[in-house]
């Protein structure tokens, strides 16, 4: 589709929406039904099994929704290298890692749970999962509800926490992972799930939040402004926010439950936030006021929101420094 055709289509959709006074309902339907974003070509062509991940499912008793997840043991290779391209044109990012075993000052141990964002899936977190495996961790990478291979409807990072918490408990009972030195890494919406889990468990050693999602209505509007600038100028902001509220209401989620700041502030778990000054969906300014002693905030430069699910060289340095304070 050409740029001209895209502009015409966007204008028509906006005019129909405004004329029928149903903008918010259309937006809510899009939120509920929109397909996941596509993986980059290089990642989608890789066989996950060849990377040493095992795919499994957790199906809670008395619940119809199963959680699909990958498990990966620590890596023993001497080197780790990956490079991933995100976006195009002036919003292009290339995020990569090139590490040798000798470059690590120490060996780490424990379990890292990695949680993806809205309209993505566990596969989007695999490069970051490889990174933590290289450090010495075993990893668990689940799909959130209504995403990827997991059942149920989307619960926007809130109710997901109960399922993932039960999955962690089940893996501990089965002896797959140990009860201790558990870290949770959450990207965007997955960061909300991560903070909820940390409030449910006492065995969490720390949480890492990569571009954590702002309140859901704000996140929806921020996304519209970034990816659909013309549409966001034609359709009033209140309709985007109302659409987000309608989607939450249908999922029986309260908007206040998507506000991550109060949960971070009340948490006692060591917390590392990594944000970019170029991220318009999860703005650094929304979180820079956090001052708790257990919270460390890292600002990186020129990284856009889609790329924030992947650990690069800058994040690596911050994570190693932070991990050394939690694994004495």
* Domain edges within the chain: 1-34+216-258, 39-214+260-326
Length of the chain: 328
pLDDT of the residue at 23: 87
* Residue with the two structure tokens 């890692």: 97
pLDDT of residue 108: 94
What percent of the chain is predicted at pLDDT more than 70?
91
pLDDT at 5 over 70: no
- DSSP E strands in 160-203: the ranges are 182-187
Does the predicted TM-score (pTM) go above 0.75? yes
Question: Could you give the angle at the alpha carbon of 116 between the alpha carbons of 110 and 122, nearest 5°?
Answer: 80
Answer whether residue 46 shows pLDDT above 90. no
* Contact between residue 316 and residue 97 where contact means Cβ atoms under 8 Å apart: yes
Q: 23-33 and 237-250 are packed helices; what angle lies between their axes, rounded to 10 degrees?
A: 50
Please give the Cα distance from 94 to 115 (Å, whole number): 21
- Contact by Cβ (8 Å): 308, 328: no
* CA–CA distance, 158 with 165 (Å, rounded to integer): 12
**In the predicted model, is pLDDT for residue 212 greater than 70?**
yes
Cβ distance 161 to 200 under 8 Å? yes
Is residue 219 scored above 60 in pLDDT? yes
Structure confidence at residue 129 (pLDDT): 98
Provide the pLDDT for residue 13: 55
Angle value at C-alpha 81, between 76 and 84, nearest 5 degrees? 135
Give the tens place of pLDDT for each residue, 64-116. 799 999 999 999 999 999 999 998 888 899 999 999 999 998 989 999 999 99
Q: Does the pLDDT at position 3 exceed 80?
A: no
User: Residue 240 — φ and ψ, nearest 5°?
Assistant: -65, -45
- Model confidence band, residue 1 (pLDDT cutoffs 50, 70, 90): very low
Radius of gyration of the chain (CA): 20
| Mean pLDDT value across the chain | 91
With cut-offs at 50, 70 and 90, classify the pLDDT of residue 233.
Answer: confident
Is 14 or 294 the better-scoring residue by pLDDT? 294
Which residue has tokens 């919003």? 91
pLDDT digits (tens, 9 = 90+) for 132-160: 999 999 999 999 999 999 999 999 999 99
Greater confidence (6 vs 190) lies with: 190
Q: Which two tokens stand for residue 71?
A: 């498990």
Position 53 pLDDT exceeds 80: yes
Residue 47's pLDDT band (cuts 50, 70, 90): confident
Mean pLDDT across 191-195? 98
Least confident of 49-63, 110-124, 184-198, 301-315: 49-63
For a pLDDT cut of 90, what percent of the chain falls above it? 78
**pLDDT tier, 231 (very low <50, low <70, confident <90, very high otherwise):** confident
CATH-assigned architecture of domain 39-214+260-326? 3-Layer(aba) Sandwich (3.40)
DSSP-assigned beta bridge partners for residue 218: none
């Amino acid at each position: 589709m050409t740029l001209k055709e895209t502009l015409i289509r966007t204008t028509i959709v906006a005019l129909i929406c405004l004329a029928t006074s149903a903008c918010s309902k259309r937006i809510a339907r899009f939120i509920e039904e929109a397909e996941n974003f596509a993986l980059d070509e290089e990642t989608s062509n890789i066989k996950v099994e060849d990377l040493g991940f095992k795919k499994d499912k957790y199906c809670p008793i008395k619940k119809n929704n199963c959680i699909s997840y990958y498990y990966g043991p620590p890596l023993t290779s001497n080197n780790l290298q990956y490079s991933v391209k995100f976006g195009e044109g002036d919003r292009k990012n290339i995020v990569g890692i090139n590490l040798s075993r000798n470059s690590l000052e120490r060996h780490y141990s424990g379990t890292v749970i990695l949680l993806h964002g809205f309209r993505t899936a566990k596969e989007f977190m695999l490069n970051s999962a490889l990174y933590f495996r290289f450090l010495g961790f075993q990893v668990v990478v689940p799909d959130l509800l209504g995403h990827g291979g997991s059942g149920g409807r989307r619960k926007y990072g809130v109710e997901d926490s109960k399922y993932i918490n039960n999955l962690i408990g089940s893996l501990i009972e089965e002896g797959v992972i140990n009860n201790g030195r558990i870290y949770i890494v959450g990207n965007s919406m997955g960061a909300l799930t991560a903070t909820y889990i940390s409030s449910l468990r006492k065995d969490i050693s720390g949480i890492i939040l990569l571009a954590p999602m702002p309140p859901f209505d704000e996140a929806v509007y921020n996304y519209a402004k970034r990816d659909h600038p013309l549409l966001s100028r034609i359709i009033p902001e209140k309709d985007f926010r109302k659409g987000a509220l309608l989607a939450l209401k249908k999922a029986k989620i309260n908007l206040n439950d998507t506000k991550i700041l109060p949960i971070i502030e009340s948490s006692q778990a060591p917390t590392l936030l990594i944000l970019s000054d170029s991220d318009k969906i999860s703005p650094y300014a929304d979180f820079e006021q956090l001052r708790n002693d257990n919270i460390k905030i890292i600002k990186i430069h020129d990284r856009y929101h889609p790329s924030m699910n992947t650990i690069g060289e800058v994040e690596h340095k911050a994570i190693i420094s932070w991990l050394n304070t939690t694994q004495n």
